[in-house]
Structure 1
Amino acid sequence: MTQQYDLDDRLRQSARKLREWNWLAAISTRRAEAVVILRDEARFLIQLGLQHPTEARRIGRLIVAYRRLIEALDRMTQPEGADVA
């Protein structure tokens, strides 16, 4: 029971971090640093999903949301006119 509670708490913390960075992305001048932080959290969530396969769907949704935010930040940091591969 404690492990499930800890998992729920950790997923709530990760969702809160995602919401905070989603808001901060618009005003941040250090987007490259934000991308590093978000990638670390996404990697952590991947490992968490492997440890808790019963919660894979819930964790997967968070991972996808992190990926979308990372991609948006990457687009914001690219200079205008840069070719996108």
Structure 2
Amino acid sequence: MPADFDLDKRLRKSARMLRAWNWMAVISTRRAEAVHILREEAKWLIQLGLEHPRHARRIGRLIVAYRRLIEAIELRMQQQEAA
């Protein structure tokens, strides 16, 4: 991580991104792309949690929220394909 890396600022950005994608997932027609972006962010958060174990609980909550959103989008994709 860069010397000027601000963990709190980056976690707030990740939470904002999650809220934005939560809304965008409803109206998006490119859901596979959304899933890819969300997975990349979740992977990054996992790595961040390993590097900052003191913040593991906060980071873990974000990871779980990302996973739930990914699962919801994938379910919508399956329902759309079945229709």
| TM more than 0.5 | yes
| Deviation beyond 4 Å, 4+ runs, structure 1 | none
Which amino acid letter does the alignment assign opposite residue 18 of structure 1?
Answer: L
Q: Aligned residues, how many? A: 79
Higher-helix-fraction structure:
2
TM superposition score normalised by structure 2? 0.90
Aligned position for 1:20: 20
5+ residue gaps, structure 1: none
5+ residue gaps, structure 2: none
Q: Secondary structure at the match of 1:25?
A: helix
Q: How does 1:1-85 map to 2 (within 5 A)?
A: 6-78=6-78, 79-80=81-82
Q: Distance in 2 between matches of 1:11 and 1:74?
A: 24
Q: Distance in 2 between matches of 1:80 and 1:15?
A: 32
Structure 1 residues 35-56: Cα deviation after superposition (integer angstroms, max 9, x where no partner): 0000000000000000000000
Q: What's the RMSD between the two structures over aligned residues?
A: 1.7
Superposed displacement of residue 80, structure 1: 2.0
Q: Distance in 2 between matches of 1:45 and 1:71?
A: 17
Structure 1 residues 13-70: Cα deviation after superposition (integer angstroms, max 9, x where no partner): 0000000000001000000000000000000000000000000000000000000000
